[in-house]
Structure formats: C-alpha cells, structure tokens
C-alpha cells in the first residue's frame, strides 16, 4: 500500500462494485410472463394457420355437399317427371347437367375462397407474432444499454482512481524535487557557493 501505490483497498472496492453492477438484476430487463404468453399464443396460432392455409374444404365436406345437392336434384327431377308424365325428360336432363356444372364451379369457388381466407389468417398471425417478438428486441436493446452504462460508470470510477493516484505521485515527485532543490541551495550556501537561479 503506501502513499506511492495509493489506497488499493479503494481500488478493490471499485472493482467489487463493478462486478456487482454488471450482474445486478436492476441492470437486466426481462420479458414479462404476459408478453411471453402472447408470443407463444401468436406462434401457435401461426403454426395452425399455416397448416390450414394449404387446405380449403375437406374431402368429407365436398362429398357431403355433392351428395346433398344430388339428392335434392334427383328428388325434384322425379317430381317434375311424375307431374309432366315424362314429357319434359330431355329438358330436365339438360337442366340437371347445367345445374351440376354450376354446382361444381360454385364448390370450387367456395374452396378457393376458404383457402384465401386461411392464407390471409397466416399473414395476420405473422404480423401479430412480429409485434410480440418486438418486445424481446426491446428488452435486448434495454439490457444492452444498461450494460453499457454500467460498464462505463464502473470504468470511469477505476479511471478516476488511477488519475488520482498518478496525481498524488506527481505531487510526491514535485515535493521531493523541491526538497532536493532547497537542500542543494542550503548545502551550497554552507560551502560558500552562491545559490543557483
């Protein structure tokens, strides 16, 4: 220790404070449970939406719709044939064929509309997930800033300690030089030499 080396216990205290600051929970932000839950929810919804985006109507839904349509058409056709005594059979067949074509087109359009809706849901959930992930980015940025500030503050305290120690050393050297200068003048005067200027 001593005057020349400075009070190293103070330096040790500064270094200890540095470590405490850098590991302090006050210098670390974290994502809240609510934000984490929101991110998980958006991620799950997005994964589900991606699976649905490739599908429209299921095969079962298409088969059921086609079956219901065919039953209704056949029942109406039979009733029309009975009431007309079979006279409109060729006309009814043409109408039925046209109706089936329109039904097929309508079913395909409905299937495409559902696929578009599912794809739009993917976009919406992706935007939600992006927003939720922004919280993590914000927390990382805050932690980086806090860490930088803590390191700068700790580094400044250590730098100040060394500056004070060096200033004290210069003062000791200057004081020693003055003492030596005064001593040489006193010694010179004792030997009868004029003082140097």
Residue environment code for 148-181, b if the CB has 16+ CB neighbours within 10 A, otherwise e: eebeeebeebeeebeeebeeeeeeeeeeeeeeee
d(CA 187, CA 197): 15
Measure CA 62 to chain center. Answer: 42
User: Exposed, middle or buried: residue 38 (CB in 10 Å: 0-12, 13-18, 19+)?
Assistant: middle
Angle, in degrees to the nearest 10, between helices 8-23 and 89-190: 180
pLDDT for res 139 = 77
pLDDT by residue, tens only, the chain of 197 residues: 455 666 777 777 777 877 776 666 665 667 777 777 888 888 888 888 887 777 777 788 888 888 888 888 888 878 877 777 777 777 777 777 888 888 888 888 888 888 888 888 888 888 888 887 877 777 777 777 777 777 777 777 778 878 888 888 888 788 877 777 666 666 555 555 555 55
- Largest CA-CA distance found in the chain, in angstroms, rounded: 158
pLDDT for res 62 = 85
């Amino acid at each position: 220790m001593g005057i020349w080396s400075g009070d190293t216990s103070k330096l040790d205290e500064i270094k200890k404070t540095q470590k405490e600051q850098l590991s302090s929970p006050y210098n670390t932000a974290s994502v809240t449970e609510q934000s984490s839950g929101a991110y998980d929810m958006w991620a799950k919804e997005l994964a589900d939406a991606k699976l649905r985006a490739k599908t429209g109507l299921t095969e079962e839904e298409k088969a059921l719709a086609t079956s219901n349509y065919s039953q209704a058409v056949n029942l109406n056709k039979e009733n029309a044939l009975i009431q007309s005594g079979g006279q409109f059979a060729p006309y009814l067949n043409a109408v039925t064929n046209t109706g089936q074509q329109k039904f097929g087109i309508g079913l395909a359009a409905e299937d495409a509309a559902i696929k578009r809706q599912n794809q739009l849901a993917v976009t919406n959930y992706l935007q939600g997930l992006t927003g939720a992930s922004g919280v993590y980015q914000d927390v990382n940025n805050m932690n980086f800033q806090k860490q930088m500030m803590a390191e700068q503050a700790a580094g400044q305290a250590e730098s100040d300690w060394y500056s004070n120690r060096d200033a004290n050393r210069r003062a000791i050297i200057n004081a020693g030089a003055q003492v030596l200068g005064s001593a040489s003048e006193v010694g010179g005067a004792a030997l009868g030499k004029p003082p140097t200027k």
